[in-house]
Amino acid sequence: MRNFKIMKQKIETSLIILTLFIILTSCVKREERIHNSEGEDSISVITKAENKIGKVVFYLENSESMFGYVNGFTEYVDVVSELSEKPEFAAEKTEREFYFINGGSQIQKIPLGNNPAVLKTKLSKAGFNCGDITKSNLNSMFQIALEKAQNDTISILISDGIYDIGKPQSPLNALITEGKETRSKFIYRLQDGDLQTLLMKLSSNFNGNYFYSSHSGKKLINQSRPFYIWIFGKTELLNKYFNEEYISQHLKGYEDYARFLVIDENTIPYQITTSINRKGEFRPDHNVKNKLIKAEPRHGEFQFSFAVDFNSLPFSEIYLTDTSNYSCSNPNFKITTVEKIKDNQKHEVTEFSQPTHIITVYTDKNPNGHLEIVLKNEIPNWITETDIDNENNIDDTHTFGYKYLTNAISEAYSNKNNGKKLAKFNIEISN
């Protein structure tokens, strides 16, 4: 009987110890779960933060040549108001800073605070009249805006895009010199890492004095005039917050845009189609991707198409569909069309899920051989068409010396990209 009691006490003691062990282990595991969960939340927050703009810094040129844009409620005023209170900035409580910027060798930044409502009270001729309004050193403005665009901070510079060259005897020589300095500013900044430059052209009513850059004097005008917005920041952020839909639909007076960026030669998915825009005879080689076999012209013509996924390229539809932006390694071929893919064409694409465009290629020569098709990184046509080398005719389209400014930016990015292409497509054709 005594042995039974002893055994019973041992069993009870063991059960108590086991129960305590289970409780302690559960507490430890709970703490680990809480710690791990907190760690996962931290990682999630960090990842999310990397995909969000932390701060936006606005620089508005307020030299006297800009006064005509703020004479009344113009498109310029509307666009600045829209950007300062962009819906995402409000929803995400994005920090904002606003500055006027002007001056010559001694550039001046006039702080306007961080309240968009206060900024909007300054968008008038009286509000613009502060600092050294007689000069505008565009290169110094670029340097300040470029340096500010770091990490999750983006900067926005708004100007008429006209170099202040000091009324020299040789305006074009002065423009060339200014352009080279601009190129250097961008080259220096591109050495610090990823930077995209988003350039937008807009038009606004302008009622005020136009100050000649190439000679002394001014002219009172009341008409539409172009102005420009440069946004600097990480490519991921600019692609996300400033897509084509937002730019074209929410910014009044929008005309066109261009993106300058450091090219990452990621493969753009593509696949030959079998019936779209087809001329001649061929069939795909099932053993070799993007190879055509049994290729024969019909009535002296040969044509085929391939689908591509341009979702990763943040370029305008106008740029992507302009056939002059493509080249073929075989001069016997030419790109006839680049079109958005239709829903009833998507069934032909099986190797990737989101085709965006159909590229059609044509030749009236022997099609056999290797063909490389390249999407080039070209300056958009609208930029070239905007430039004018004299100020005899002040109109609603042109900006004096504009090519020297934009060529400088393009050359800086070309230097960084070192010959990289936006996209390359290799196709083999044999009979």
- Could you report the per-residue pLDDT of 113-164, keeping only the tens digit for each? 999 999 999 999 999 999 999 999 999 999 999 999 999 999 999 999 999 9
CA distances from 306 to 130, 274, 335, 345 (A): 57, 9, 11, 11
User: Which residue(s) pair with 201 in the sheet?
Assistant: 228, 256
Give residue 363's pLDDT.
97
169 or 383: which carries more pLDDT confidence?
383
Contacts of 71 (CB under 8 A, 6+ apart): 124, 125, 206, 207, 208
Cα of 158 vs its chain's centroid, Å: 16
User: Domain locations in the chain?
Assistant: 1-50, 55-263, 270-376
The pLDDT-based confidence of 39 (bands split at 50, 70, 90) is very low
User: In this predicted model, what pLDDT tens digit does every residue of 201-260 receive, in sequence order?
Assistant: 999 999 999 999 888 889 999 999 999 999 999 999 999 999 999 999 999 999 999 999
Residue 253 DSSP code: T
User: What distance in Å separates the CA atoms of residue 180 and residue 318, rounded to the nearest whole number?
Assistant: 29
User: In this predicted model, what pLDDT tens digit does every residue of 236-248 receive, in sequence order?
Assistant: 999 999 999 999 9
Give residue 170's pLDDT.
85
The phi and psi torsions of 51 (rounded to 5 degrees) equal -100, 10
CA distances from 169 to 103, 187, 215, 390 (A): 22, 29, 8, 13
Flag whether pLDDT at 41 surpasses 50: no
On whether the CB atoms of residues 350 and 271 are closer than 8 A, the answer is yes
The phi and psi torsions of 57 (rounded to 5 degrees) equal -115, 120
Model-wide pTM > 0.85:
no
Q: Which two tokens stand for residue 326?
A: 């493509």
What's the mean per-residue pLDDT of the chain?
Answer: 89
Share of the chain above pLDDT 70, in %: 88
DSSP count for the chain of H helices, then E strands:
12, 18
How large is the average pLDDT for residues 6-17? 52
The residue type found at 285 is: D
Residue 170 backbone class (left: φ over 0; alpha: ψ -120 to 50; beta: rest): beta
Flag whether pLDDT at 377 surpasses 50: yes
User: What distance in Å separates the CA atoms of residue 392 and residue 275, rounded to the nearest whole number?
Assistant: 54
Angle between helices 171-190 and 138-148 (to 10 degrees): 10
Give residue 40's pLDDT.
40
Q: Which two tokens stand for residue 338?
A: 């680049």
Select, from the ranges 124-133, 172-181, 263-272, the one with the highest average predicted confidence (pLDDT). Answer: 124-133
Q: Which two tokens stand for residue 109?
A: 């930044």
User: What distance in Å separates the CA atoms of residue 147 and residue 144, rounded to the nearest whole number?
Assistant: 5
Flag whether pLDDT at 5 surpasses 80: no
3-state secondary structure of 155: strand
Q: Which two tokens stand for residue 363?
A: 């030749």
Give residue 193's pLDDT.
87
User: In this predicted model, what pLDDT tens digit does every residue of 337-365 receive, in sequence order?
Assistant: 999 999 999 999 988 889 999 999 999 99
Among 30-34, 258-262, 372-376, the least confident range: 30-34
Helical H segments across 51-130, by residue range = 75-84, 87-91, 116-121, 125-128
